Amino acid sequence: MRLLDSVLKGAFENGRLAVIDTEGRHYSYGGAGPGPHVTIRFTDPAAPRRILLNPELGAAEAYMDGAMLVEEGSVHDLMRLFFLNKRQFDMTPGQRFWRGVHRRLRRFQQNNVIARARQNARAHYDIGDEVYRTFLDRDMQYSCGYFREPGLPLDAAQLAKKRHIAAKLGIRDGQRVLDIGCGWGGLALYLAHLADVEVLGVTLSERQHRLAVARAERLGVADRVRFERRDYREVEGGFDRVVSVGMLEHVGAHFLPAYFRIVHDRLRAGGLALIHAIGTRAAPGATSPFLRRYIFPGGYAPSLSESVAAVERSGLWTLDCEIWRSHYGLTLRAWRHRFAERRAKVAARMGERFCRMWELYLSGCECAFLEGPSMVFQLQLGRERDAAPLVRDYVMEETKRIARADAAFADRVAATAWECLDGAPLPATMRQSRAAGAGLGGAAGV
């Protein structure tokens, strides 16, 4: 503890951290600036050494293993304390050493060839749909919501996100749409009810694919909405619209140029693409060792400069770039609260260590968006400079039109995620519609 004590003395300016070691000795750090007051206790004498050698990963593993307990405050308070003092913390010897190592190894750590990308997807997305159901909205949207007004409920924020994306895409009858990284299918199914379009959604997750297919069948639109377990690099053919939400973070820094070239090649003349991704205002860096090892193997949120540079080499026009600053932080806050409410259920299924790991993940990411440099960007891309209207006014008008149209189907589409997980029978009206061979999209097409 003596060596860790010497490092922590200069690492805190805001808030206060109190530490109790295994011998009962007390240490205190910070206290001058505003911030949470947190007390931790070590139950394993080796924990301070692990943290000293590899601070972020060592501290996360100590908490996950029960070698470090939070006795005053919460683990979220501890994460906030870390982010409020991150500038000083990053200057400690251990952090500087590992940051340099991770940057030098970045190409190897993000070598997301197709086989490895499949393994990465299984590691995160196939842990069990019930885990995600505990904190996601009904539509199972595992990406940033759009909080158009303060206090918007999570389901409403996710619907607002889908409306905003659809407005930017200019969805119309007869189009062919590619959804790269389609998740549990919610956005693809929404677009297929907004207009008479054909949608191909691709995912590498077996569980996501299974649920998405079941939802399309349940809604009677499987003839127009196909979901395939396929890597984006394996897709062929042309599309009028390409949308990708929360997928760019799984590509890897040195695969970005190839990714945007594929978007270019899949777009037909006059087509539009909308890429929605986590990014950072900071310079290019490396993924947190905790996130890389336990949450998103192979994952990397690129800086905006890296993504735009890759677009420039692809032959695509950047027609619009929109920055969402705190929206994902508010989304993660809602997820964290919902997870906490259902924590006992998750612990019974996945174990206490998993719950502690997920608490760190949700809290840390929330702080990264509300206290740190993380943000979300949306790139609207096209092969031609006039593929989208010249001014943004159309987005607001189109959003209003879409909101009037989706009143007839948005709740019904969203509800199918949990219905299919529960194995609930089809409502009588839906059974009659399917028996008659009618899909849901025609009635709502605009």
**DSSP assignment of 377-388, as one string?**
EEEEEESSTTSS
Q: Contact 382/317 with Cβ under 8 angstroms?
A: yes
**CA–CA separation, 135 and 142 (whole Å):** 10
Residue 116 token pair: 């490895």
Decide: helix, strand or coil at residue 245. strand
Task: Tell me whether residue 240 is exposed, middle or buried, using C-beta atoms within 10 angstroms of its C-beta: 0 to 12, 13 to 18, 19 or more.
Answer: buried
Phi/psi-derived region of residue 273, left when phi > 0, alpha when psi is between -120 and 50, beta in every other case: beta
Q: How many CB atoms lie within 10 A of CB 146?
A: 20
**DSSP assignment of 306-363, as one string?**
HHHHHHHTTT-EEEEEEEESSHHHHHHHHHHHHHHHTHHHHHHHH-HHHHHHHHHHHH
**CA–CA separation, 17 and 81 (whole Å):** 8
Residue 345 token pair: 């259920």
Is 365 known to be catalytic? Answer: yes
Q: How many CB atoms lie within 10 A of CB 106?
A: 18
Per-residue exposure over 172-195, b if at least 16 CB sit within 10 Å of its own CB, e if not: eeebbbbbbbbbbbbbbbbbbbbb
Q: Contact 237/258 with Cβ under 8 angstroms?
A: no
**Out of 144, 182, 355, 365, which one is annotated catalytic?**
365
Where in the sequence numbering do the catalytic residues fall? 365
